[in-house]
Amino acid sequence: MAKKQVKKKQEKPTSFKKIIKWFWILFLGGIASIFLLFLLASWGALGEMPSFEILENPQTNLASQVLSSDGKTLGKYYLRDNRTPVGYKELPKDLVNALVATEDARFYDHAGIDVRGTIRAAVFLGSKGGASTISQQLAKQLFHGERGEGLSRYTQKIKEWVIATRLERQYTKEEIIAMYFNIYDFNNNADGIRSAANIYFGKEPKELKIEESAMLVGMFKNSSLYNPRRNAEGVKNRRDVVLAQMYKYDYISEEIKDSLQNLPLKIDYHPESHNAGLGTYFREHVKKFMKRWVRENPRDDGTRYNINFDGLKIYTTIDSRMQKYAEEAMEEHMTKLQAEFFHQNTKKRNKNAPFARDVEQSRIDYVMDRSMRQSERWRVMKKDGKSEKEIIASFDKKIPMRLFTWKGEKDTIMSPRDSLIFTKYYLRASFMSLEPQTGQVKAWVGGINHKYFKYDMVKQGKRQIGSTFKPFVYATAIDQLHLSPCDSMPNGPFCIEAGKYGLLEPWCPRNSDNKYEGMRTLRGALANSVNTVTARLMDRVGPANVRSLAQRLGVESDIPEVPSIALGTPDISLYEMLGAYGTFVNQGVYVKPVVISRIEDKNGTVLYEFVPETKDVLSEEVAYTVVNLMEGVTKSGSGARLRTKGANKWNKMYDEIITGYPYEFKNPIAGKTGTTQDNSDGWFIGMVPNLISGAWVGGEDRQVRFASTTYGQGASMALPIWGLFMKKCYADPNLGVSKGKFPEPEDLTINVDCSKTTKKGDEGQEDPNDDQNNDGIDF
């Protein structure tokens, strides 16, 4: 019995040794297994792993930015990922602290894997929190994306650990934080922290407040669930959790935490899309330029840049402040002008509305048929194999749709045919402004609403130019004949006989007021758009010389060699006209308008830098004389309302649209109005020494127009946009828009002082008939 007891005592140490042995076997085996798994994962046995080169340059889609000359983001080009990276220094401290406190409190103490957190998660099966570090989450975002299921989740986790440790070796902690903020999808087209800050709060990341930073960090848990546009209460609760975490880890005091948690959730939603924001038409124009540029300028390896993915920085000449003022000026004026157009074109007043009363039904049918065939509906149905009969029938079936109005979008039920008619009621407009000395375009508004009216009327659209072409005739005459603004010409009836310049019949333009007696100085004739005087000048210099000058001034549109071009019959774009007028202000030197100053890649390497295209066209004194002539337009001619406040006792709407804007400019201004046949187009181009701006207003079709020149002339339709824009520019002294005189050449041999030679009344007061009925019209 005693021997048995001794034997048992001897067996106990042996059993304990076995336990210790198996413990070490299992422990070391576990470590070896983990090490082996890490090794296998790093070798790619558990699936493809990112290479060193990819880790060094993670492949993320970056939106290209369109930047203004004053450093503002006008817009972006992207397909799905609206992402613009920011550096760590651009992130506010509270934003970083909120992230660390909420997602990875020991971020600065580990090398990619939080061992304590991992053990806690394993022991409690995740009930007391997960173990993913910021580095692991970044690895998942960069190289895995969606969460795996079942066994794939475990292999995915191991790969995340491996990648996280590699990221920690490759990048600093600050770089990892910046990459994490830049990669995350905050929903609502907000990819990355910069887009999120702009879309949800209308500001840059560095401007975020603590509570705003906490809201965005709170979205990291699940941006689809915690979406501030759909789940405001849930987002506020999540924000408050983040603030509590910041307090827990001593990033903020309890007092600050409590005060911020009591604040309501405030977002200032700024959706970003290709149809929203400043310069929508301009951005589309730049996009076309960039598509050509990437084709013609491949990388060294032959591949092309992609403006939607490669994060290019496109620095433009646009001034965001001027662009804003231009868009505001257009909206302010066009809202009032459109209201009057609606008033004049009710079915009771005009059965042809929105077309003019004198338009024949056959012409209306033609225009509507053309509009249907050019529509997106027609294109899609034709592509789907529908017959022409089926397509036409579909235009008469009422369907739900959304329409543009100046008071906001309108949901309604309407037939597509009626919607086409409705859109034709809306007058279109364009505006552009440039610096004549550099050719830099400062504002570009191609239409009234890019979402509904895509066609860009700054450069893409060309319309009959009217009397704004006349300065080219006068410039040719001054250059070739050395005429002075003070020289006089007969105001009597004038014809160019058949056979001359290839005319098949005599050309006999008439004056708008049907008055033909006396003499007119060149200054008075241009100021009041006297057609007979312009025709006489055309006859003396010949249409070929006028055409040649216009082309040298940068007009690329077709200009026929016929006398009628003197009155503005060619179709020319606003873009071309401003480039040409810029030559007059720039002492006879033409500078081709430019919209892009340079292009950089995502790393800041300059890929393109603009080199000005210039050429001498006119002498300095001829250019100055033409400007001096056009100053008469705003002193006593068709643009004189820029200098008066005015009032009209008969019609309140007329007073608001035509003379009610309080311009009252005192500084030197040169310019020219233009009105085309039947009031189809209204133009005004105005100039000060360092800024030229122009506006066009008209219907989509020439048959859509005002019935009379009271509203249909350039001085009524287009000039007010220029006036409102300039008032806003002058109210912003930081822009430095000149109020001074146009610089006079030192050796001026042409007499521009008509005070002693002009007969009294020649320049006179603005004639109510001037610039009306046939201002710039070919008769």
User: Which residue in the block uniquely carries the two structure tokens 């500084």?
Assistant: 667
φ, ψ dihedrals at 88, nearest 5°: -60, -35
Residue 681 to residues 464, 544, 674, 678, 703, Cα–Cα distance (Å): 7, 25, 8, 8, 10
504 contacts 496 by C-beta, under 8 angstroms = no
Q: What is the pLDDT of residue 778?
A: 31
Count of beta carbons in the 10 Å neighbourhood of residue 581: 29
160: confidence class by pLDDT, cuts 50, 70, 90: confident
Three-state DSSP class for residue 434: strand
Mean pLDDT across 128-141: 76
The pLDDT value given to residue 348: 84
Per the listing, tokens 């337009």 go with 633
285's tokens: 């124009």
Residue 758 has pLDDT above 70, yes or no: no
Burial class (CB in 10 A: 0-12, 13-18, 19+), 605: exposed
- In this prediction, residue 667 has a pLDDT band, given cuts at 50, 70 and 90, of very high
* Predicted pLDDT at 645: 64
Tell me if 333 sits within 8 A of 720, measured CB to CB.
yes
User: What is the Cα Rg of the chain in Å?
Assistant: 36
CA 431, 435, 441, 442 dihedral sign is negative
Whether residue 443 contacts residue 326, with contact meaning beta carbons closer than 8 Å, is answered with yes
Closest to 509 in 3D by CA, of 490, 529, 527, 495: 495
Bridge partners (DSSP) listed for residue 672: 685
Pairing of strands 64-67, 73-77: antiparallel
Of 657 and 699, which is predicted with more confidence?
699
Structure tokens at 594: 């430019």
pLDDT of residue 586: 97
Average pLDDT of the residues of the chain: 86
CA gap 605, 324 in Å, rounded: 30
- In this prediction, residue 409 carries a pLDDT of 92
Please report where in the chains the tokens 């649209």 appear, as a residue. 657
pLDDT of residue 161: 74
Give the orientation angle of helix 173-183 with respect to helix 93-103, to 10 degrees: 90
pLDDT at 637: 87
Mean pLDDT (whole number) for 174-183: 92
Q: Please state the rounded mean pLDDT for residues 338-358.
A: 93
Give me the long-range contacts of 705-708 (CB less than 8 A, separation at least 24): 705/356, 705/678, 705/679, 705/680, 706/341, 706/344, 706/679, 707/344, 707/350, 707/356, 707/357, 707/679, 708/679
Is residue 33's pLDDT more than 90?
Answer: no
Distances (CA, A) of 251 to 245, 248, 522: 9, 8, 76
What pLDDT was estimated at residue 752?
Answer: 92
**Tokens standing for residue 514:** 């049907």
> With contact defined as beta carbons under 8 Å apart, do 330 and 433 qualify?
no
Q: Is the pLDDT of residue 131 over 90?
A: no
pLDDT-above-70 percentage for the chain: 83
Whether the predicted pLDDT of 485 surpasses 60: yes
User: Could you tell me which of 197, 169, 170, 159 has the C-alpha nearest to residue 181?
Assistant: 197
Q: In angstroms, rounded to a whole number, what is the distance separating the alpha carbons of residues 535 and 530?
A: 9
Q: What pLDDT is stored for residue 480 in this prediction?
A: 96
Predicted local distance difference test score (pLDDT) of residue 135: 87
The structure tokens listed for 37 are: 């798994």
Helical segments of 482-554, H only: 522-527, 531-541, 543-552
- Confidence class for position 26, pLDDT limits 50, 70, 90: low
Contact 642, 661 (CB under 8 A): no
Per cent of the chain over pLDDT 90 is: 69
Least confident among 61-70, 130-139, 551-560 = 130-139
Name the pairing type of β-strands 681-688 and 670-675.
antiparallel
Burial of 666 (0-12, 13-18, 19+ CB in 10 A): exposed
Mean predicted confidence (pLDDT) in 589-601: 97
128 vs 703, higher pLDDT: 703
CB 502 within 8 A of CB 542: no
**Stretch 67-94: mean pLDDT:** 91
Q: What is the pLDDT of residue 52?
A: 53
**How would residue 38 be classed by pLDDT, with cut points 50, 70 and 90?**
low
Report helix, strand or coil for 569.
coil
What residues have CB less than 8 Å from 737, skipping those under 6 apart? 688, 690, 691, 726, 729, 730
- Which conformational region is residue 363 in: left (phi greater than 0), alpha (psi within -120 to 50 degrees), or beta? alpha
- For the chain, the farthest-separated pair of C-alpha atoms sits apart, in whole angstroms, at 152
Q: What is the mean pLDDT of residues 748-773?
A: 56
The pLDDT tens digits for 368-420 are 999 999 999 999 999 999 999 999 999 999 999 999 999 999 999 999 999 99
Tell me, what's the pLDDT at 768?
32
Q: Other C-beta atoms within 10 Å of 423: how many?
A: 16
Q: Are 706 and 341 in contact, with CB atoms under 8 Å apart?
A: yes
Polymer length of the chain = 779
Judge contact between 537 and 477, C-beta under 8 A. yes
Does residue 655 register a pLDDT over 80? no
The whole-angstrom separation of Cα 156 and Cα 114 is 17
Q: Name the pLDDT band for 104 (thresholds 50, 70, 90).
A: confident
